[in-house]
Amino acid sequence: MLTETKAQEGTRDGTRLTDGTELRRQVFDVVNKTHAVDVHTHLYAPEFGEMNLFGIDELLTYHYLVAETFRSSDVQPEDFWAMSKTEQANTVWETLFVRNTPLSEATRGVVTVLTTLGLDANAPDLNDAREFFRAQSVESHLDRIMEIACVSDVVMTNDPFDEKEVATWDSKVTLDRRFHAALRMDRLLNDWPNASAVLKAQGYTVEPEAGGRTANELRRFLDKWIEHMRPLYMAVSLPDDFKYPGGDVRDELIREVVLPTSRAHKLPFAPMIGVRRNVNPALRVAGDGLGNADMRAVERLCAENSDVRFLVTVLSRENQHELCVAARKFSNLMPFGCWWFLNNPSIITEITRERVELLGPSFIPQHSDARVLEQLIYKWSHSREVIAGVLADTYEKLLRAGRHVTRGEIERDVTRMFSGNFREWVG
Sequence-separated (6 or more) residues with CB below 8 Å from residue 250: 189, 190, 192, 242
Q: Estimate the crossing angle of helix 345-359 against helix 375-401, to 10 degrees.
A: 40
C-beta of residue 370 within 8 angstroms of C-beta of residue 42: yes
- Kindly calculate the radius of gyration of the chain based on its CA atoms and give it in whole angstroms: 22
- CATH superfamily label, 57-134: uronate isomerase, domain 2, chain A (1.10.2020.10)
Closest to 176 in 3D by CA, of 138, 228, 224, 219: 138
pLDDT at position 8, please? Answer: 47
Question: Phi/psi at 231 (nearest 5 deg)?
Answer: -70, 155
| β-strands 269-276, 234-239 pairing | parallel
Q: E strands along 52-164, which residues?
A: 151-155
pLDDT, residue 13, reads 72
The answer to whether the beta carbons of residues 98 and 61 sit under 8 Å apart is: no
In tens digits, the chain (427 residues) has pLDDT values of 787 765 444 445 788 998 999 999 999 999 999 999 999 999 999 999 999 999 999 999 999 999 999 999 999 999 999 999 999 999 999 999 999 999 999 999 999 999 999 999 999 999 999 999 999 999 999 999 999 999 999 999 999 999 999 999 999 999 999 999 999 999 999 999 999 999 999 999 999 878 789 999 999 999 999 999 999 999 999 999 999 999 999 999 999 999 999 999 999 999 999 999 999 999 999 999 999 999 999 999 999 999 999 999 999 999 999 999 999 999 999 999 999 999 999 999 999 999 999 999 999 999 999 999 999 999 999 999 999 999 999 999 999 999 999 999 999 999 999 999 999 999 8
Q: What is the pLDDT of residues 59-85, one digit of tens each?
A: 999 999 999 999 999 999 999 999 999
Q: Report the b/e string of 258-275 with b at 16+ CB within 10 A.
A: bbbbbeebebbbbbbbbb
DSSP 113: H
pTM for this one?
0.96
**Residues written for the chain:** 427
CA distance linking residue 301 with residue 294, whole number of Å: 12
Reduced to 3 states, what is the DSSP secondary structure of residue 230? coil
User: Which of 60, 427, 421, 40 shows the shortest CA–CA distance to 262?
Assistant: 427
Task: Name residue 91's beta-bridge partners.
Answer: none
